[in-house]
Structure 1
Amino acid sequence: MPRFFIEPSQVRENRIVIQGNDVNHIKNVLRMRPGDELSLSDGRGTDYFCRILSMERDQICLSIENSWKSYVELPVKLYLFQGLPKADKMEFIIQKAVELGVYEIIPVRTKRVIVKLDEKKETKKIARWQQIAEGGAKQSGRGIIPEIKPVMGFSEALAYAGNLEGVLIPYEKAEGIEKTREMIAGLKGKKSVGIFIGPEGGFDEAEVEAAMAAGVLPVTLGKRILRTETAGLAMLSVLMFEFEEE
């Protein structure tokens, strides 16, 4: 069933009015007609099962047949602090991270980041990345659209992560896998967990030391060396499995 996101303000008693780009998609791409069914989410955790009542040139009116709290979201908010990668790797990371249940993605400018974004390019990139997050949320049936934050410096990102209940950083010098399993199991019941992932060149030693001094827990991802676009997704997969409820 086609799925779209709306703003809570579009819900009017037992009706929902869709406007903007989605109107064209519903009418001309999906070729839907009055009586057809749609799945909608207000992006705040409420889902709606709707039926098309009428279709006008610039808006579509739907009746709310049923509504419920989204059951697909994890009980923990996962924050991915991603060192800026080269080329279009960030788009891939965002798409897959959204599928794996991430709550928020924070692009981070570290010492070994190669990509340089000026203010104009950054604004366009963030807008593009947010579109990808929305597309990933629609495809995977999410109850929210994960937010892509503006690019932060490493110190700023550490300060932002200080508000979370638990933060991890994969590090090649971390203790063995059993210690990592203990740390991850110890996060059970936390409401917010962050993950710091370095860019292609990894984190500078001083950055790792600063992170650990701030209370970030070093973990291992095993004996193999993972690319930046793999490491974060591996961590999210582990945490999704650990926190997922029935």
Structure 2
Amino acid sequence: MNPMLDKIQTRLYTLFAGEPYIDLNDGDSLAVKQSLRLKNGDVVACFNGDGNEYLYSIDQTSKTGFSLQFQKSFPNPADAIPAITVYIAFTKGKTKDRIVKELTPLGATKIVFYSAQRCVSHPDVKSIERLRKIAIESCRQCQRSTIPQVEILEKTLIQLFQDHNFLPASATLFWEEAGETPPLQISDPSQPISLIFGPEGGFTREEVDDAIKKGVTIRTLGKRILRSELAVLVGMILAQSQRNLFR
């Protein structure tokens, strides 16, 4: 927790955080104002995704909105962690929503949904805005000031490996058929890493072999078969526990 934010009950997301004066009349902000019964003089924290917290005092309130006056800003120490990108095979139903919601407080900086050979669902690009809103709301609740980037790609795992932005040397792929493997070990916690998770049906041998050829590390999450949603959270916690996220 951030000591400077602990005494502030209200956090709001706005692209205008940092401006000397802000007028808020969007539905989400009004809902927060009404539920917490905010009044003139109350202090609220605002964030815009740049890693800083901006403190404002409520200057005026009305039935249609309220105005904020800037007080001070400071970097949010909760966001001072190395980048981690999480690649997740397409999931069905609302699983993507829950994954984004839970990965945000765990420190994911980028969440990428991709297509694997055994995926039973297909890319739903229309859901990207909903997922981004979920990430913002999760940031608001967990006192995080940077918003994870969420992407839905119509790419296979093999195509991802061919992407020049993908760094296989810093990536770990979790495969339930890997047998006895050493536990996940982050050699340099200060460097960016990537975690790769497969679909409910698991990776194919072809996908794993291609990953190995590219230099990706293969690990398991134990002897039990985990649902894809749970596997993502377990792998993320194992990685972040070695990067001092929980200290």
TM-score greater than 0.5 by the shorter chain: yes
Preserved contact between residue 161 and residue 194 of structure 1 (Cα < 8 Å): no
C-alpha distance in structure 2 between counterparts of 1:51 and 1:164, whole Å: 47
Which residue of the partner structure matches residue 13 of structure 2?
5
> How well do the aligned residues superpose, as a CA RMSD in angstroms?
2.2
Amino acid at match of 1:170: F
1:178-217 equivalence runs, <5 A: 179-181=182-184, 184-190=185-191, 192-217=192-217
Deviates more, 1:66-75 or 1:78-87: 66-75
Change over 3 Å in CA distance of 1:69–1:79 after alignment to 2: same
TM-score (norm 1): 0.86
C-alpha distance in structure 2 between counterparts of 1:79 and 1:131, whole Å: 19
Which residue of the partner structure matches residue 156 of structure 1?
159
Which residue of the partner structure matches residue 5 of structure 2?
none
Cα offset, 1:15, TM superposition: 3.4
Query: Helix, strand or coil for the counterpart of 2:77?
Result: coil
Which residue of the partner structure matches residue 6 of structure 2?
none
Which residue of the partner structure matches residue 49 of structure 1?
55
Q: Cα deviation per residue 1:39-92 (whole Å; 9 max; x = unaligned)? A: 111211011222111235655322232311111125211111111112211111
Confirm or deny that 1:169 pairs with 2:173.
yes
Query: Helix, strand or coil for the counterpart of 2:96?
Result: helix
Structure with the higher helix share, 1 or 2: 1
Query: Helix, strand or coil for the counterpart of 2:38?
Result: coil
Q: Cα deviation per residue 1:123-168 (whole Å; 9 max; x = unaligned)? A: 3211111111111111111111112112231233332662476111
C-alpha distance in structure 1 between counterparts of 2:180 and 2:75, whole Å: 40
Query: Helix, strand or coil for the counterpart of 1:180?
Result: coil
Which of 147, 162, 169 in structure 1 is aligned with 2:149? Answer: 147
Which residue of the partner structure matches residue 218 of structure 1?
218
C-alpha distance in structure 2 between counterparts of 1:31 and 1:124, whole Å: 35
TM-score (norm 2): 0.85
1:60-139 equivalence runs, <5 A: 60-117=66-123, 122-139=124-141
C-alpha distance in structure 2 between counterparts of 1:22 and 1:145, whole Å: 17
C-alpha distance in structure 2 between counterparts of 1:123 and 1:59, whole Å: 33
Preserved contact between residue 168 and residue 215 of structure 2 (Cα < 8 Å): no
Structure 1 runs not aligned, ≥5 long = none
Structure 2 runs not aligned, ≥5 long = 1-8
Q: State the aligned residue count.
A: 236
Query: Helix, strand or coil for the counterpart of 2:79?
Result: coil
Cα offset, 1:108, TM superposition: 0.9
Confirm or deny that 1:18 pairs with 2:20.
no
